[in-house]
Amino acid sequence: MYIFRPSENTIKPLGIRDIFPNGRHIYELLLLYNFTLSKSADIFINAYLLSDLLYESEYEGQMWMLYDSNKMLVGVGDAFSERYNVKLEKGEYFIRLQVRHENKDKLERLNTMEVILEQKITSPLSLDIFPSRSSAMTANSKFTAKTMTPGDIMPLFIGHLPHEKYMKGAKAGHYLSGNIIYLKSNDKKSVSTYPFKYIFSSSAAKKGNQERKESADKTTDDKKSTEANNVSKQMEEAVRDLKITWLPKAQDSSLYEELKQAYADYIPLHLAQLKVLDESKDRDEKLSDIVNLANDIISKIDVTGLLGYYGMKTVSEPDAASKRKEMDKIKAALVETYIKKGNALASIVKKQEENGPIIPGDDSDVDAEEIMRLMAQKELLKDTFQDLLKWVEVTDSKASSFVIAYYLVMKHYGRALRRLLKEGEEKTMTLEQFEKMIELFDDLSWTHCSKHFRNMKLVRYPKNYQPF
């Protein structure tokens, strides 16, 4: 059971159809909740303050509508939440809950009303029972069975459930709901069942937190002795990192040029500027700058040494963990640089192909120099693609944008379509991806698929939420 608070709430009068004959208005409270599923699940949505009441409720309505991240309606429900089961795939979802009343003040009392998201677990969980507190704490001598006579009292202690294993997304206040069952006879057919809740008092600890804490405690004394000498250096690094965070907000490249003069070999600086160029509104005019900056970043990384590090057997050393972490950061920066460089090169090739004929024919006047330039860009694109595959699999979701762009340039439409469909299975497909898929159907001359998906687009990607 997951408990959510609303991220937004608004109260407003309803339209003309919801006005009483005597002129009194009805108001609506609209609450917005959002959640993310890491895997497919059956869920129930329970506005528990209202859901067990209908005609007896003080409020006039409690309808909820469930949408995916593209505003497509996937479920609707009302009172008595157990009647409305929705099967969802993994992804991001939004709940819009409407509560109505003629008294605005009464609606304001529900501004922060929580909802419970009930999710069925894939397989039942069983908790161990112990006869004493000490045995429950040490997980020894589990309770087996005992015959009791009427009037007997026996305390039972329920063991701890390691929720970092079973409920990775559990937070304080979330709980498991089930039953505790007592046998009434030896035939194990006659039983007595009572509801049971297991409430999580804290969030699951992230893996490695304890190790990091122990490592930090161990090195605290060493740090104290050196901090005095490093204060000025730490301050300089903090100012540098703060300035880097302002690069996306800078009106021009003057801030980057200033930092570049002082920190020419600092890769995170250049990577941040690469992101700025790649995400800018006039990206199409900065494609060459993106490629040049990407080449500059790659030249500052010892690619051969990095390959050697990951290719050799890991040796247990005192600083092995910190070295691995540093190498992983460099690898991530290199992969991101290859992806952004590849996307820019693919855009350059696409623009060159769209600007005019590229294959000489009987009646075409084609500049041979332009053809050679295009072929050179394609070769560079192929090399970048091969360099990327040294570090990630072609199926890696991080590289999807470049992989699809590469396949499109090479006119491997079937491969591009397969990768897009795979993306749709892994997470909710965006409108841009959906439209790209329709273009691929056109390129493949699959007119039946193109027509079907164009019609489907109106349903899967509505511009607005449906009205209540």
Max mean pLDDT among 119-123, 157-161, 202-206, 388-392 falls in 388-392
Judge contact between 29 and 106, C-beta under 8 A.
Answer: no
372 Cβ contact list (under 8 Å, min separation 6): none
The helix, strand and coil proportions of the chain, stated in percent and rounded to the nearest 5, come to 45, 20, 35
Q: Is the domain 2-119 a CATH 2.60.120 member?
A: yes
- CA torsion sign, 409 to 413 to 416 to 417? positive
Q: Do the beta carbons of residue 294 and residue 341 sit within 8 Å?
A: yes
The rounded distance, in Å, linking the Cα atoms of 55 and 263 is 69
Q: How far apart are CA 201 and CA 102, in angstroms?
A: 39
pLDDT category of residue 226 using cuts at 50, 70 and 90: low
CB 6 within 8 A of CB 64: no
Q: Residue 29: which of 94, 98, 77 has the closest Cα?
A: 98
Note the pLDDT tens digit of each residue in 344-356.
999 999 888 877 5
Pull the structure tokens for residue 226. 């050196």
Name residue, tokens 């020894």: 140
pLDDT at 169 over 70: no
pLDDT of 232: 82
What pLDDT score was predicted for residue 329?
A: 92
Average pLDDT of the residues in 231-252 = 87
Q: How far apart are CA 173 and CA 401, in angstroms?
A: 39
What confidence score (pLDDT) does residue 235 get? 87
pLDDT tens string 268-316: 999 999 999 999 888 888 999 999 999 999 999 998 888 888 887 766 6
Q: Do residues 426 and 397 touch, judged by C-beta distance below 8 A?
A: yes
Residues with Cβ within 8 Å of residue 28, at least 6 apart in sequence: 11, 12, 13, 14, 98, 99, 100, 107, 468
Which letter does DSSP use for residue 253 in this model?
A: S
Helix (H, G, I), strand (E, B) or coil at 403: helix
Confidence of residue 179 (pLDDT cuts 50, 70, 90): confident
> For 203, which DSSP code?
P
**pLDDT in the model for residue 190:** 64
User: In this predicted model, what pLDDT tens digit does every residue of 425-448 receive, in sequence order?
Assistant: 777 788 888 999 999 999 899 999
Select from 197, 206, 156 the least CA-distant residue to 176: 197
> What are 49's two structure tokens?
């303050």
Minimal CA–CA distance to 61: which of 74, 46, 51?
Answer: 51
The DSSP-derived string for 405-436 is: HHHHHTT-HHHHHHHHHHHHHHSPPPHHHHHH
Q: What is the largest CA-CA distance in the chain?
A: 104
CA distance 360 to 370: 11
Cβ contact 177:1 at 8 Å: yes
| 271 CB-contact burial (10 Å; exposed 0-12 / middle 13-18 / buried 19+) | buried
pTM above 0.95, yes or no: no
pLDDT at residue 361 tops 70: no
Domains in the chain: boundaries:
2-119, 129-146+154-200
Question: Rounded CA gap, 67 and 33, in Å?
Answer: 10
Task: Spell out the residues 6+ positions from residue 392 whose beta carbon is closer than 8 angstroms to its own.
Answer: 335, 398, 399
List helix spans (H) across 246-319.
254-262, 267-279, 287-299, 303-311
Place of tokens 């304001």: 108
pLDDT at 362 over 50: no
Report in angstroms the alpha-carbon separations of 135 from 30, 132, 138, 182, 423: 50, 5, 5, 21, 49
| pLDDT at residue 188 tops 80 | no
Task: Supply the pLDDT for residue 380.
Answer: 92
Kindly report the number of other CB atoms within 10 A of residue 209's CB atom.
9
pLDDT in tens, 314-338: 666 777 788 888 889 999 999 999 9
Amino acid at 196: F
> Which of 322, 296, 313, 122 has its CA nearest to residue 215?
322
Q: Is the dihedral of CA 349, 350, 354, 360 positive or negative?
A: positive
User: Tokens 């992969």 map to which residue?
Assistant: 335
The DSSP string of 388-400 is: HTTTS-TT-GGGH
What integer is the mean pLDDT of 114-119?
A: 88
Query: What φ, ψ does residue 326 adopt, rounded to 5°?
Result: -65, -40
What percent of the chain is modeled with pLDDT above 70?
A: 87
Q: Which of 215-219, 235-239, 336-340 has the highest mean pLDDT?
A: 336-340
Q: Are strands 191-199 and 175-183 parallel, antiparallel or unpaired?
A: antiparallel
* pLDDT-wise least confident of 251-265, 279-293, 358-372: 358-372
